[in-house]
Every structure is written in C-alpha cells, then in structure tokens.
Structure 1
C-alpha cells in the first residue's frame, strides 16, 4: 500500500513526539509560628540522550564541567544502559554560574540539554532529621511509580518523604513534534495535551524553631534524643537527635559525597534518628506506670507502706539496689525519692493478685500498652520502632518450662528487664500523665495550605487507668523538683513535674555482661496545672538522670514557656559539657544496651576512665 500511496510513510516520519517536562517548586516549610524553615533555589541538571550525541569535543566538554574523561565515559555508559533513546541525568544540580558557563556553549554539544529544577534552600542550620532531604529517584522507584522519570527528585526521610505527594506539586508536560531529522517542527496538536506545572503546597510544622535550635545546641558533643510534645494536642514541639548535621550539606553537587560520609560514620550515626528509632530501657520514669497500674488494680493506695533499709530494698525475698534514703515509704515519697523497693513491691503485688502469673502479666501489659507503648504510634514520620512491653508470650519463650514468678520479672517495675521505649514514647507517656489519662497521636504537621490534616490526629485515646489515680502520681512528680532527685533543677516561677532516670547499660565481653556508663534520662511536663509541654530527654552514657538529661529538660521547658533562660548556671554547665572522650573510648559499640562484641582493650580503657573519674569526684567531695 505504501508503494502506491506514501501518505502513511510521511505521517510516520513526521509524528515522532518529544516530551518536555516543567518541574514545579516544592512547597515551602514553615514552623508552628510561621517562621520559614525551608524554601527553594534554582538548580540545573545536564541531561543526555546517548543516541543523539554527535561530533562531541570530549576534552572541551569535560574541562567545562570539571570532570575527568573516565567520569564522562562512566556516565555515558550508565545513561546508555538506562536507555539510548530516552533522556537521563548526566550531571545533576549545577549552580547558576556553572549553568551559565555551560549554556554559552550548549549548541556545540549535540545530545545534551539543560533541565531546570528546584533544590531546597535551607533557611536554618538545624532540624535535618525533621526535614529529611530530597534525592534522585532510583530505578526501583521509577518501576513502582510511573509519575517519576529518570532524574526526578523525591523526598527521603523526615517530612520530605512522608508528605512527598503534597510537597512535590505536579509536573507540567509539553509535547512537541519532530521530523525524521529529529528537528522540532512545532507543538503537538497545538498544545491540546500540554499541562501547566502546579507548585507544591506549603506546610506548617508543629515544631517550634526556637526550642528545636536550642535543644540541638544543648546536645552538642552528646548522643541521644529529645522529644517535646504539647499534651493537649499531641503536636510535636521539638524532635532532636544527636549528633546531627547542617541540612544544607545534602544539597548540590557535593550531596552524594557528603551523604556517603554521614552514612559511613558507624560510630556517631548522624543519620540515625535516636528520638524515633533508639530503643532504651526507660529506667525510673517507668515507675510512674508501675504506680498507676498498681493503683488501678487496687493492690496499693496512697497510704500503702514499704520499708527500705541500708541502701538496699527487700521485696519478698528479692533484693534490689536502691539509692533512696530508706525507712518507711508511702507512694508520695516513693516517687520523689525514686525508691526501687516501693515500686518493686507494688509491681509484684500486681502480678501476685492473680493465680496465674501469665494472666497477671497480660493484665499489667494491657494497662501499659494503653499509653501507646509497645507498638507503632502512628505519627506522620516515615521511621520508628515499637519498643517492647513484655506479655505472657514473652515469658513463655524465655521460660519454656514455666515455673517463673513475679520475683523473676520484677526488674520491669523499674524500667529495666524486658521493657524498651523510644524517646518519643517516653514523651507521649508524660503527655498522657499530664492530661490525666488521655493522649492524641503525636504528629508533626500543623497545617497544609488548601487541605485538612489527617483526622486521626484529632482522635482522643484514653488509657485504662481511672483519672483519679493520676492526682497522687502528679503530686509526687511535682515534689521530685522540690524534695527529691531533681531539687537542684528548679526554675523559679514554673511548676515542673518530672522524674529522673538512670538506665543500666551493658556490653557482652567473652560471654559475660560488663556494665558500662549508664544512660541519663529525664521526663517532665509543665506547668503542673494546664500543662503546655511534655518532654523526654535521653543522653547516652550520660550517667545519672539529674546530671545531664535533667538540666536539659529544665532549660528546654523554660525556653519554650518564657522564650528566655534564667538558669544560666545550668545552661553554662550543659553547653560546656562534652562526652566526646567517653564516646571515643566506647567507639564502635552498637546502639542502645545490647552490645555484642567490644575489644578488651577498649573496655579496659573505659574501666580506667571510670575509676579515675570516681577518684577525682571523691577527692572533690571530701
């Protein structure tokens, strides 16, 4: 038919279509008070269509872009493997001056063209773990989601990943016809199918930029996490991981190099969000739940008394080391002096209430889980951990032959044993106590321009503990600052309820557990009446809870409520306090308290350091 009439042949030669994308700006990111945190800046990618490269002066091309011939060959080979006919990124993220120099000579480089995009422009040097970053899509993403093409950018980690579809906007598309010589001959069907790019939606985070920045400053030369929540709403006020980094280093041509350095830092792990991922034994703050469950189960009341003597606690045949002042303790004093004897006894009475320990453990476990523990919390960030709240299934695995009693698992009472929590779970626990029995799912989105936030963040979650039992617990937490373990951390004019914690930390050496420096933990909320902030602070290998974590919590609370600091003595102490030497000695150890292997010489250095520190402290005390 084509021999007789060449109409179809001509149409075939003329209807080759070139698709050109127009990339929108990503939505801007603001804090809860309208402060701009993340904007955009122009960026330019050099794109290549391998089949269209002709008469290229490779040497001039490489010199202009400051790349080697080997790099050029490698990039062309990679692009050809992807597709010889379709465009792919040859060199991403040129700045304005690099683009200008290349644009002057682009006519000489057939097969190459420039694609304009926008990159993030960070207005602050903190919050990297909150924002996440944007990076080029890989082949797997392209296969799974047809929206993305080679060279497209996508959010990775943080709010950039979770709210990707809202922030990215919608690409514009233009269709052009080309003739058989690959020359553009005009718009396809007069632009009938062309679309305009739509900019991404702006969002406001629940984060308060000032306390986020301040918290990161306080955590310099330390490792751990801080999470602050507004109790009445579940809004995350601060989400801090340490060590952190300036988010701007993951923008531009050096992004890949810098990301590799961060990724390969196996000791500091700056990409590891300790506020969401690190699971720690919560230590003494867990006594709050032990007391609440015991009150709810009716095995204790405010007058229930336990006797603690000579620095050790005796609870029905089980010795537990205790640091309180001893004597007869009731609930109030048991809380503010953090008595192991009291809460160990309360826990065993809870378990012993029922004939079957397995049933009793599940009763206890269900009460604790009603605070959002031992499970994914459902917040709007792409990463997290469940933590661990043991149940009867846990102990059936540990004790397959049965025979266990409350004395075998009493460590749970003081936040050790099998209990693990993340800092955000600890903060949510305190928000729940501040609310006297309810919480809202923690979230980081406050407002999306033109849209509503997920309705699940407005759902009220109520615990299994009756409201009246929170009052004596809160009174005890208030006197932690007045009479107890945090009495040196008071801030005049602010009624703070808090709890110190010191979580034991072990390494496994030749099959034996070796005790390392404890983790420093502190949880709090303020004011006592009508609380506006609940906070959890975890400092790895920081020692006693009142040493580092406690002062940080007090400073963060005052900064949020007053916008200034009066406890400058605490601020100076924390800003000057560095744990770098301690981490250097412990270098190479794994996260949290489950360290499988540690060099003997490292442990020896660590022990010597602890001994010297203890000697110096004793001398100063004397």
Structure 2
C-alpha cells in the first residue's frame, strides 16, 4: 500500500497541472475577452502638482504669484500618428521638433509620460483641446509658472526652472522627477522645501484611444496635493521699486537693512532685469540672452561682487584702535601727504577730524601703531603678530567670511592674514610698509555690498548686528524663521566708543557728502572712493538714519561713478528719504541721480 502512494501523488499533480494549463490556454488563445478588456482600459497615474507658495513683501503686498500653464504629455508606447503634417499643424510643432521630443520621451521611458510641448498658453490649449481624442498617448497636465506683478527684485527672489540632472541625483528624498520645476536661485532656491508643497496623484481609467473612462476604484487611491507655504519677505516693495528706478542705467548695488533686526528692506543688483523674462515658455531663449549680456544682469552683485571697501573701512580702524587703547578721541596726527595722498583739509587732526575729513595720512599712522606694538624686537615678526591680532578684531565685524544670508552663492570677501603675505613675499620678508594700503581699505582687503550695509547696521546699533536675512514669516508664523537670524552678534567694541563715531559720521556729510544732507533727518554716513585700475573709480557710501534712533542702514556702491559723495551718497540719501518719509521732496537731487552724469 505504501509503495503505491508516491505514484498516486504524482498522478494527482500531473492532472492538476494539465487542468491549469488547459484553462490558461483557453484564456490566452481561445478566449480573447480578457485581452480585449485589458486593451480597452488601462490605469493612468497623473501627478497632481501643488500650487507653489506665494511670496509677499513686509507689508503683505504680493511679489510673486502663480500662473497656470499646460504641458502636453506623451506616453510613447501608446502614441500613434498617421498624418504627421496634420498633427504638426494642429499642435503648432515643427516636424523635426516632434521627432526630437518623441525620441527624448522614449529614451526616458517607453511607458511613463514625458512632456511633448511645455507651457502651452490658455489660447493654444483651447485650440488643441478638441483634437486630443484623436491621438492616443496624449494628455494635458496642468502646471503653474511664476509671475511678478511689479517686476522687481529679480536677483533676490530668483526664478524656477526645470530640475537639472545633477539636482535629480542629489534628491535623496526622491521627491522630484524629470521635468519638474525647482527653485534655481534667490529666495525660490533657498526656501524650496517650504515653497514647493507636496505632490498628490490621481488614477484614472482610459481606453486604447485615450478616452477618460473615469476614476480607478472610484478614486480610493487618489491623494490630494498640498500647496506650498506662503512666505512673507522682509523686502519693502515701494522702497525696492524706487531703488531700482534710481539705479537704472548704472552698475552696482544697493542694500538697505533694518538695523535692530537684520531684516533686509531692499536689495538691488544693477543692472536689473524683468523676472517675468525667466517665467514661461521663452525661459531658455531669455536666459541665454541674459547670460550673454556683457553687463552681467544675472550676477547678484550685493552678495557676489567683492570690492575694496575704501574709506568706509576707516570707521572700523577707528573702533579697533579705540577698543585696543591705541587711539583716543584726542589722538592727533598731521596730514602728511608724503606718507600717502590726501585731499586738502585742516591739519593736524584728531580722531573726530580724521573721520570727518577722511584723512588718509591719519590712518596710515594710526594703523602702523595698531600693527606694530613692539611685542617683538624683530620688525617682521612684530608686524606678523600685529596683523593677525588685527585680523581677528576685523572679522568680528562680519568681514572676511560669509555672513550667512538666506541666499546661496554668497561670497565672504577677504581680510588678509600673515599666511597670505608669507605666500606672496616669503616668511619674514614683509613688514608694515608692505601692507600699509590696508589702513585705508585698499590692497588685498575685499568686502561685499551686503557686508558694507551690515557695517552700517553695526555703527547704528553701537556694536552688534543680526545676520541680514530676507524672511519675515513662513506660513504666517514668525517662529518658523531659522534661529540663526534671531541671534545677536557682538563685535567686541564697547558701546560708548560708538558715540564719537556716530557724531563724526553725521558731521562727515558736511565735509564729503553735502548733497546727502536732509533738513529734517540727521544722517550719519561715510563716503568712499574705491580705486579701480580698469577705469573710473567706484563710488561708495554707507549710512544710517535717523542718527538718534536708527531705522535704516544702507550701503550703495556705484561702479565707475567716481567720488563717493556724488553718486552713492545721493542715491543713499534719497532711499532714506523714501523709506522714512514715504515721498521725495528733493526733486532736484532725484533728477541728478536719474540723469547719472556724476562727473560734472
């Protein structure tokens, strides 16, 4: 009996196998109803793209919103075209472009959708909508592009564009797909995770002709998209618009900061461009045009351009000298033009007079005493020790490194060290006479316009600053602001030293920037004229106002505009008037800046 059992089991298994194979044969070969049903209907997954978060100014005026556009998508496996000429006429597409896009879609995926025509306008969509049923494998996906009602702050706000291959590779969260839009610069890029929202998905049944047969499983698997979070920026729209008007036809930067918070009120990179140029179907053509423009409108000067600070750095030298006890209000030096060139003014001068008259020989001599404190009998070693100590004090002012603004690609400028000069000249082969140009903010010293504005905020606050930033609230909540923008930074100089500095800066306008003076508001400022070996010097000015209760700190840098008391000081003064008074009464000064002829 036991010997027959294995044979019975084998017979049973064979019979079951035969039955299953027979049934499978009937389904696949004799009965094609299953095949016909599969061909008639397929499940199509459609991404439900979220609305990107809106961006407002500090007074809740809209800066950036969304415009709906349509992408014509193609699934290569299902796509069929009998009359190519007719198809190209209906969809306004060249034959070569059709072939190119179809081949790109096949290379990406045979069964997944790819864009055939991107960013179709409402008008064009209405024309092609009725023909979609005639072409299997085509469907419309709704997207949105950015739009800018006032066309300002392009470098600050940034733009969105299709995700790059290298960005896809770094997408560890696997959120993005080929063809998705992502912030590429400015606020759009830095706050991408907050602005982008969360994708949803819809599943629908379509037949072989692409006709919608309704939701799959009554929509049980569908998920709704979640809109991105709205951002309230620190930018003052009206001040930004006015500043861009003043900088028309010029190259340079304007950065205005609210001193007590670090909030950026205005950030201008001139020449400016219309941000709407990089939104919509003409993005590629316009981007290439802007990129090849010799004036470099895509170069974000406030955070990327680095210049010698010029005479505005004399204020920092004064504060370091006061804190170290090397300078006092009564420290007096002659205006010895044999040491370094200077303009005509009374001599000798004390510290107040040196700031007021921007005396170069004064700071040549003061800086030498800061650097050479005779801590070593070897002059070269003494200079090295003094320079490195000085450098640490300077960097506390937010110089020589990135400030940490909420924008990418910020440059840090340069505060030279002894290692740098060892590399240039050799160790023990340089001394004060080699580096004296640092005394007046020239030589190897470099700062960004953002750092200049931050210096003005430090002078206004009497010794501290908050990291400059562009975000005021995320999703309506101020507590969502990153902690680093709420941290107070002390520069290591006692507050009482700033009283003389502020008084001297207010008086300095009468000596070097009389055009900037306002009757009803006391402006404390410092001019600078940064040397330029390639042409006319650059005009520099930093200021804060009102002196008694500072509400705005500003830096203006106008390239090739000469003396700082002209272009830069005039522009800054008008910006201060606009922000504090809301209107401009000095029309003659406004016309002077708008005309831009600063050498008469």
Rounded Cα–Cα distance in structure 1 between residues aligned with 2:286 and 2:210:
40
CA contact (8 A) 2:515 2:566 kept: no
Q: 1:190 to 1:143 in 2, by over 3 A?
A: farther
> What is the CA-CA distance between 1:112 and the residue it aligns to?
1.6
- The equivalent position to 2:502 in structure 1, one of 474, 480, 485, is 474
Q: TM-score, normalised by structure 1?
A: 0.87
Rounded Cα–Cα distance in structure 2 between residues aligned with 1:5 and 1:462:
83
The answer to whether the aligner puts 1:83 opposite 2:93 as a matched pair is: no
CA contact (8 A) 2:422 2:429 kept: no
> What is the CA-CA distance between 1:324 and the residue it aligns to?
3.9
- The equivalent position to 1:247 in structure 2, one of 254, 275, 288, is 275
> What is the CA-CA distance between 1:57 and the residue it aligns to?
2.6
Q: State the Cα deviation string for residues 383-415 of structure 1 (Å, max 9, x = none).
A: 210100112222221221423222211111111
Rounded Cα–Cα distance in structure 1 between residues aligned with 2:523 and 2:23:
90
Q: Equivalent residue for 2:341?
A: 321
- The equivalent position to 1:359 in structure 2, one of 385, 390, 400, is 385
Q: 1:213 to 1:378 in 2, by over 3 A?
A: same
Q: Equivalent residue for 1:173?
A: 201
> What is the CA-CA distance between 1:143 and the residue it aligns to?
3.3
Q: Equivalent residue for 1:349?
A: 369
CA contact (8 A) 2:136 2:209 kept: no
Rounded Cα–Cα distance in structure 1 between residues aligned with 2:532 and 2:583:
35
CA contact (8 A) 2:133 2:210 kept: no
CA contact (8 A) 1:56 1:110 kept: no
The answer to whether the aligner puts 1:298 opposite 2:325 as a matched pair is: yes
The root-mean-square deviation of aligned C-alpha atoms, in Å, is 2.2
Rounded Cα–Cα distance in structure 2 between residues aligned with 1:122 and 1:135:
15
The answer to whether the aligner puts 1:484 opposite 2:511 as a matched pair is: yes
Q: State the Cα deviation string for residues 295-315 of structure 1 (Å, max 9, x = none).
A: 111111110111014xx2x4x
> What is the CA-CA distance between 1:140 and the residue it aligns to?
2.9
- The equivalent position to 1:20 in structure 2, one of 40, 46, 65, is 46
Rounded Cα–Cα distance in structure 1 between residues aligned with 2:369 and 2:351:
14
Rounded Cα–Cα distance in structure 1 between residues aligned with 2:198 and 2:517:
52
Question: 3-state SS of the aligned residue for 2:249?
Answer: coil
Q: Equivalent residue for 1:122?
A: 148
Rounded Cα–Cα distance in structure 2 between residues aligned with 1:551 and 1:273:
22
Following superposition of structure 1 onto structure 2, how do residues 86-101 of structure 1 map, counting pairs within 5 Å? 86-101=112-127
The answer to whether the aligner puts 1:57 opposite 2:83 as a matched pair is: yes
Rounded Cα–Cα distance in structure 2 between residues aligned with 1:530 and 1:26:
39
> What is the CA-CA distance between 1:426 and the residue it aligns to?
0.4
The answer to whether the aligner puts 1:368 opposite 2:394 as a matched pair is: yes
> What is the CA-CA distance between 1:32 and the residue it aligns to?
0.3
CA contact (8 A) 2:135 2:210 kept: no
Following superposition of structure 1 onto structure 2, how do residues 212-611 of structure 1 map, counting pairs within 5 Å? 212-265=240-293, 267-309=294-336, 312=337, 314=338, 319-353=339-373, 354-355=375-376, 356-449=382-475, 451=477, 452-481=480-509, 483-507=510-534, 516-577=535-596
CA contact (8 A) 1:491 1:567 kept: no
> What is the CA-CA distance between 1:3 and the residue it aligns to?
2.0
> What is the CA-CA distance between 1:326 and the residue it aligns to?
4.2
Rounded Cα–Cα distance in structure 1 between residues aligned with 2:454 and 2:444:
20
Q: State the Cα deviation string for residues 97-117 of structure 1 (Å, max 9, x = none).
A: 011111121112222211001
Rounded Cα–Cα distance in structure 2 between residues aligned with 1:578 and 1:244:
19
Q: Equivalent residue for 2:9?
A: none
Flag structure 1 segments of 5+ consecutive residues without an equivalent: 508-515, 580-612, 618-622
Rounded Cα–Cα distance in structure 2 between residues aligned with 1:185 and 1:563:
59
Rounded Cα–Cα distance in structure 1 between residues aligned with 2:93 and 2:439:
62
Q: State the Cα deviation string for residues 275-309 of structure 1 (Å, max 9, x = none).
A: 11000011000111111111111111110111014
Q: Which has the larger radius of gyration?
A: 2
Q: State the Cα deviation string for residues 50-94 of structure 1 (Å, max 9, x = none).
A: 221113432122223333211222222222222222111111111
CA contact (8 A) 1:13 1:180 kept: no
Rounded Cα–Cα distance in structure 2 between residues aligned with 1:62 and 1:185:
27
Question: 3-state SS of the aligned residue for 2:394?
Answer: helix
> What is the CA-CA distance between 1:264 and the residue it aligns to?
1.4
Question: 3-state SS of the aligned residue for 2:112?
Answer: coil
Question: 3-state SS of the aligned residue for 1:464?
Answer: coil
Question: 3-state SS of the aligned residue for 1:252?
Answer: coil
Rounded Cα–Cα distance in structure 1 between residues aligned with 2:435 and 2:273:
40
Rounded Cα–Cα distance in structure 1 between residues aligned with 2:58 and 2:385:
45
Question: 3-state SS of the aligned residue for 1:237?
Answer: strand
Flag structure 2 segments of 5+ consecutive residues without an equivalent: 1-16, 29-33, 377-381
Q: 1:327 to 1:28 in 2, by over 3 A?
A: same
The answer to whether the aligner puts 1:194 opposite 2:219 as a matched pair is: no
> What is the CA-CA distance between 1:262 and the residue it aligns to?
0.4
Rounded Cα–Cα distance in structure 1 between residues aligned with 2:55 and 2:401:
29
Task: Report how many residues are paired.
Answer: 564
- The equivalent position to 1:113 in structure 2, one of 133, 139, 142, is 139
Rounded Cα–Cα distance in structure 2 between residues aligned with 1:324 and 1:64:
76
Q: TM-score, normalised by structure 2?
A: 0.90
Question: 3-state SS of the aligned residue for 1:517?
Answer: coil
> What is the CA-CA distance between 1:181 and the residue it aligns to?
9.4
> What is the CA-CA distance between 1:183 and the residue it aligns to?
7.9
Q: State the Cα deviation string for residues 140-184 of structure 1 (Å, max 9, x = none).
A: 333332211222111111111111111111111123467899887
